[in-house]
Amino acid sequence: MFKFLPLLVLGVLASSYALPVAEEKEVVAILKSEVNKNEDGSYQINYEGADGTERKEEASVVDAGTENESLEVKGSYKYINDKGETVEVFYTAGVNGFVPYGTIINPEITSVAEAAKDLPNTQQDDVKS
């Protein structure tokens, strides 16, 4: 009997310190999901979730057929933060970088990004040299 007592105690202790059970996450329904890709490389994306998340993006080809051909992207995304506030960010992206605008973006970041997009692209300048 006493030989099994330590095993019994060990078993009781082990069961009281069981591994935590993973918290079940809510499954969010996708209300809309569209992706349209065009032959020239341009595209449109439109997504909407039941939890208030949204993403819209459109890319177009600029300088088509040249060595400077690239995509110019305009878009936005939206979600509800932990405080219940709607956060929406608008952005552009192209040869000179990513420029965000929105309710949570520090205005200094937006102004620096806005100024930087007008600077010469050093990568292109190196190619031309």
Paired with 61 in beta bridges are: 71
Top-confidence residue, 55 or 6: 55
Q: Per the structure, how many domains does the chain have?
A: 1
Report pTM.
Answer: 0.65
Q: Give pLDDT, residue 18.
A: 58
Residue 129 lies in a domain: no
Q: Is 7 inside any structural domain?
A: no
- Between β-strands 70-80 and 54-62, what pairing exists: parallel, antiparallel or unpaired? antiparallel
Tell me whether residue 65 is in a domain.
yes
Contact criterion met (CB below 8 Å) for 71 and 62? yes
Better pLDDT: 34 or 85: 34
Question: Pick the residue with more confidence: 37 or 118?
Answer: 37
* Domain assignment present for 94: yes
The pLDDT of residue 89 is above 80: yes
